[in-house]
Amino acid sequence: MKIKKGDKVKVEYEGKFESGEVFDSSKAHGNPLEFVVESGQVVPGFDKAIDGMEKGEEKEFKIEPKEGYGEHKDELKKEIPRDMLPKDQEPKEGMILMMQAANGQQFPAKIAKVEKDKITIDLNHPLAGKKLIFKVKVLEIEHDKGEGIESKI
């Protein structure tokens, strides 16, 4: 039977940039990726690409930014005073900082630029604006029995 919305699937995958550089894989994590189709656990383009696949099937597909991690947005770059960092922390371009929102939730921010009295942080997802190529093999499909996703979580 073919994969459809609500099915729980297990897949092996490898994600690459257009350059061929691998950025992620199930092999690197030591186990297959398991998720419920169209539940928001993976990017929309991944859900759409595996829809209709069958157990044992392999497929390679490209995901455009709008169906992946979104376009890169300049408005998500923010300047903050350098003295907001701990005195013993020397900021460097490319460094990832853990920031904290007013509600206490933590999120990563990449340092995009370091100046004498301020730093520019980039709050875009690291894969925003990138075209992604995935090679996927379906290992298992547990079909939704009409109970809905909520009853399985």
For 26-84, what is each residue's pLDDT tens digit?
Answer: 999 999 999 999 999 999 999 999 999 999 999 999 999 999 999 999 999 999 999 88
Confidence of residue 150 (pLDDT cuts 50, 70, 90): very low
pLDDT higher than 80, residue 148: no
Confidence of residue 124 (pLDDT cuts 50, 70, 90): very high
Domain chopping of the chain, boundaries = 8-70+128-152, 74-122
Phi, psi of 76 (to 5 degrees): -90, 10
Residue keyed to tokens 């922390």: 89
pLDDT higher than 50, residue 101: yes
pLDDT of residue 83: 87
CATH topology of domain 8-70+128-152: Chitinase A; domain 3 (3.10.50)
Can you list the pairs that 26-35 forms with residues at least 24 positions away whose Cβ atoms lie under 8 Å? 32/139, 34/8, 34/9, 34/10, 35/8, 35/9
pLDDT of residue 147: 56
The CATH code of domain 74-122 reads: 2.40.10.330
Residue type, 102: A
What is the model's pTM?
A: 0.79
Q: How far apart are CA 86 and CA 114, in angstroms?
A: 15
Q: How far apart are CA 46 and CA 68, in angstroms?
A: 8
Between residues 40 and 107, the one the model is more confident about: 40
pLDDT of residue 99: 83
Q: What is the DSSP string of the chain?
A: ----TT-EEEEEEEEEETTS-EEEEHHHHTS-EEEETTSSSS-HHHHHHHTT--TT-EEEEEE-GGGTT----GGGEEEEEGGGS-TT----TT-EEEEE-TTS-EEEEEEEEE-SSEEEEE-S-TTTT--EEEEEEEEEEE---SS-GGGG-
Number of other residues whose CB lies within 10 A of the CB of residue 150: 7
